[in-house]
Structure 1
């Protein structure tokens, strides 16, 4: 499989990501049960018809009975079913494909959020600015499977996880995992596993269910800097919407007008635990996708760190924070509003303004569990701010007008904050929004669109972090030129530079002001 538009990254042990896979290197990873390759490769076992992770406890099959695939979807499309012992659904879902195909990267983000659950492939291709045939070709080239197979595998693996980790009735599992009907759900499992879904349930492994909630395990590739990401979220937590403690993050969330509660805590087994309380089970895949996005669970820190460490200035920063992630956003509109609110003021002041906005226009949440945590509102939707005098909450009149204009624009086109054909077109679309400059657009692309190469080159914190021994900072143009060597992981380079910024403590993970380039360059 050749790279689409960037050089591919080579993993340790001779396995090449994005190109043909080295059979002997793959087999070595399985013989040694090397955890470094968990989530990067899967083995189909011809004698049993299952596909496994490198860490599978079963005896390693004979070489002639093994075939290797870059993704679970590729193995499943080849006719193999998920192993019941190593449970591929519990494997970290790595973004190793990022950097080899920007189009595939964006398509996967949309599929994870349910893009193919209601729409067809042609709609997805149109959103990405490519033809349907081209999208199929890119998926085959980089993932070894079609987009439809990827979506189907996502549904099957989520359903299998819910069967084995929760006590949801099977009909609810079908709805929560994205299947259109219980009949289709039963048929798929019977065809794939040669047994009904209920036969896969292991009651002794099921989580103790929260009342009216579902608790799922969300794996990641270690190391993971929980303290950094929870510190970032704590600095920006809006009262009534979010509550952050050292070992727990909770917030209210609204999806398609339905309000719910999410509680995320760290585990000891390279995973986070997410308690999800939503009255509409069909929202579960979208909620899980958002949790994975906010906590950046698809990152492969070893792969990213190895690339960035080639820069002498970044190497010690990566070594100091090997598990640093790029925090995502819960909602594009919310992020844009908070970014505009934060222009020219501190994080604390922006948080106070956001709290006033929520109190004035956020819908009430009626959930005892949320109330017990002091959470009683959701962040206002675009429709709630249209025609409102937002400036009356205590901000410059021009900024209030920008927020109302942003709300009006997003209400008319809810797809604005979805991945585009490329980073440049995304930035162009975002900078056309009221109140959004280049800095803010790059910031939104980094956090909401999950563009791994987004880079706000005019940021003061980044310039300060790369100042020489005399204190001379690089210009925005010089910083941009230097960042070329960090592609396609410039967003992570920015995180490490912000973490190592000798400036104010509030700049530990991202700048304290979500400003546009005009202020940042000042």
Structure 2
């Protein structure tokens, strides 16, 4: 992304929070890079270089500022301005703890490794391996500052299977060792350990073995609205919204456990406590939660497009900063979307809870409370889905979807909306509404649009008459590439009485 030095200079001198995470200021005289909101005395303009992302600044040899913590900044929307292939590659790189070879990554994307390297150089200015190393080193930097995890454990959580390799990469990027950073963060960690969980009725009840993460975002961010959305869809035994806290079970890379999330509005971040057995899979959990709560959304850009529609403009005025509620796991959500065809949200949630109760693994937390893991495709391979309230046709669709997931006919790594819808609608019992809805929430595709959705047709109708799907599609053309966000606002208008 091309940066305008004049805009960057004005933003950093004003410490404008709207630009937090959109660019980084590197100071050539000190070798440090900062967020535009850094409280330190601003350097002279002749001594600075601007970078679109923290990864680029770190790869250029600058180390993160200890006062403003660039490792903790919200995600940069610059990643959304790269080619589709690079975007898919980044998604794959972030979805797994361990690194993949460039050749393996290119093969999964259906391109040559040489072409993939060229795309990264063209769009990001650095290669895939350098991006992976810098992102993981930034994540490790945060763990070193904020947690008491041993350095070997941090190396593992960041995706390095060799402590020696981790130390080498970290020192190459930051010009100091992980042990140096750990010593610098002692005071901060002690303060964090004393920090209460805002809005959590069980603030003192979480496990002493839990690891705490901080997920920062750019305001406006309407946590109560997100919680209300998830509360209505919480899966019994798997998810819970209690007070102002979201909780759920998880299973990632052989690690299972519990996590709970609360908002810390004063510091523009979510506080996450993760307790897991066999590790914590913290990097993958971090990425999944950022997608679940849509923390990296460019709400200013989204709002600028959607406010051109009078209906959506009224909703944005009431609750600015619209976010797209995502899904913890695409497969889990796909099954829930299939269950939700032609029935209410409450009924679909009830039946999904029965799937988890019958086929999911039962576990117990430190306090002796039972919870369940939602079953994987492998666990559902022989499931008949009978006796849980489904029609024979719907049970058959679920069995076919599970089989297609296992044999590769359904590929959740596919990032093209049209291609995703084409592949999944080939399966019996799955139409465009289901495909688009899975794309919208299960895969967090911002331009997905379930045009035949009853709520959409009601919201976009006039004179007491519902709109037709073709009319909805035509109107939503002006919402691109943010039709999924427009869908949420249209649904919201039904609750507030605006149509």
SS of the equivalent of 1:319 reads: helix
1:423–1:123 Cα change, 3 Å: farther
Deviation at 1:329, TM superposition (A): 0.7
Listed as ranges, the gaps of 5+ residues in structure 1 are 1-17, 506-522
2:138 counterpart residue number: 157
Equivalent in the alignment of 1:404:
399
**Aligned partner of 1:443 among 437, 447, 460:** 437
Deviation at 1:503, TM superposition (A): 9.0
Q: Could you tell me which of 479, 482, 485 is aligned with 2:478?
A: 485
Q: Deviations over 1:82-131 (max 9, x none)?
A: 2222110111113344255433333332222237x332223333433444
1:41-80 correspondence to structure 2 within 5 Å: 41-80=23-62
Aligned length: 482
Residue of structure 1 equivalent to 2:198:
none
Residues 44 and 50, structure 1, Cα contact 8 Å, conserved in 2: yes
Moved more, 308-317 or 155-164: 308-317
Matched, 1:38 2:20: yes
What secondary structure is seen at the aligned counterpart in 1 of 2:322? coil
Counterpart-to-counterpart distance in 2, 1:501 and 1:356: 30
Distance change >3 Å, CA 494–CA 137, structure 1 → 2? farther
> Partner residue of 2:372?
377
Once the two structures are overlaid, the 10-residue window that deviates more, 96-105 or 429-438, is: 96-105
C-alpha distance in 2, partners of 1:225/1:84? 29
- Residues 139-166 of structure 1 deviation map (CA, whole Å, 9 limit, x = unaligned): 3444343332222121111101111111
**Residue pair 1:44, 1:69 contacting (<8 A) in 2 also:** yes
For 2:121 and 2:469, the matched residues in 1 are separated by 39
The alignment partner of 1:118 has SS state of coil
* Counterpart-to-counterpart distance in 1, 2:389 and 2:410: 30
Shift of 1:361: 0.9
Q: Give the whole-Å Cα distance in 2 for the aligned partners of 1:261 and 1:164.
A: 23
Distance 2:82 2:461 in 1: 32
Task: Supply the distance in 2 between the matched residues of 1:497 and 1:104 (Cα, whole angstroms).
Answer: 32
1:252 aligns with 2:281: no
- Give me the whole-angstrom Cα distance separating, in 1, the residues matched to 2:428 and 2:255: 27
Q: Secondary structure at the match of 1:416?
A: coil
Give the aligned partner of residue 124 of structure 2. Answer: 143
Aligned residue for 2:66? 84
Find the aligned partners of 2:495 and 2:175 in 1 and give their Cα distance.
59
**Secondary structure of 2:249's aligned partner:** strand
How many angstroms does 1:282 deviate by? Answer: 6.4
The offset of 1:184, in angstroms, is: 1.4
Given that residues 95 and 299 in structure 1 are in contact (C-alpha distance below 8 angstroms), is that contact kept between their aligned partners in structure 2? yes
| Residue in structure 1 matched with residue 181 of structure 2 by the alignment | 200
- Cα separation, 2, equivalents of 1:398 and 1:386: 17
User: Relative to structure 1, is the Cα distance of residues 165 and 309 closer, same or farther in structure 2, using a 3 angstrom cutoff?
Assistant: same
Whole-angstrom CA distance in 2 between matches of 1:502 and 1:58:
45
The DSSP-based 3-state class of the residue aligned with 1:417 is: coil
Match 1:428 to one of 415, 422, 427 = 422
Counterpart CA distance in 2 for 1:492 and 1:151 is 30
1:83 and 1:185 map into 2 onto residues whose CA distance is 20
State yes or no: 1:212 paired with 2:209: yes
Describe the superposition over 1:191-235 as per-residue Cα deviations: whole angstroms up to 9, x where unpaired: 333332122122221132943321100001111111121111111
Could you tell me which residue of structure 2 aligns to residue 272 of structure 1?
270
- Consecutive unaligned residues of structure 2, counting only runs of 5 or more, are 195-206
Partner of 1:501: 494
Shift in Å at residue 498 of structure 1? 1.2
Q: Aligned partners of 1:278, 1:346: CA distance in 2, in Å?
A: 34
Matched, 1:175 2:163: no
**Deviation string for 1:250-283 (max 9, x for gaps)?**
1111123432111111113111111111223362
* 1:331-480 pair list within 5 angstroms: 331-369=329-367, 371-372=368-369, 375-413=370-408, 416-420=411-415, 422-468=416-462, 470-480=463-473
Bigger drift between 104-113 and 129-138 goes to: 129-138
Q: Which residue of 2 aligns with 1:8?
A: none
How far apart in 2 are the matches of 1:38 and 1:215? Answer: 23
Structure 1 contact 329–447 (Cα < 8 Å) conserved: yes
- The 1:317–1:392 alpha-carbon spacing in structure 2 relative to 1, beyond 3 Å, is same
Which digits, 9 at most, give the CA deviation of each residue in 1:331-373, with x for residues without a partner? Answer: 122111111212222222212212221111111113225x44x
CA shift in 2, pair 1:313/1:503, >3 Å: closer
Deviations 1:21-45 (A, max 9, x none): 2112211211221111110011121
Note the 1:321-332 alignment, pairs <5 A: 321-332=319-330
Structure 1: distance between partners of 2:319 and 2:88: 27
Secondary structure of 2:277's counterpart equals coil
CA distance in structure 2 between the partners assigned to 1:499 and 1:184 by the alignment: 50
Secondary structure of the 1:244 match is strand
Q: In the alignment, which residue of structure 1 is the partner of 2:219?
A: 222
RMSD: 2.3
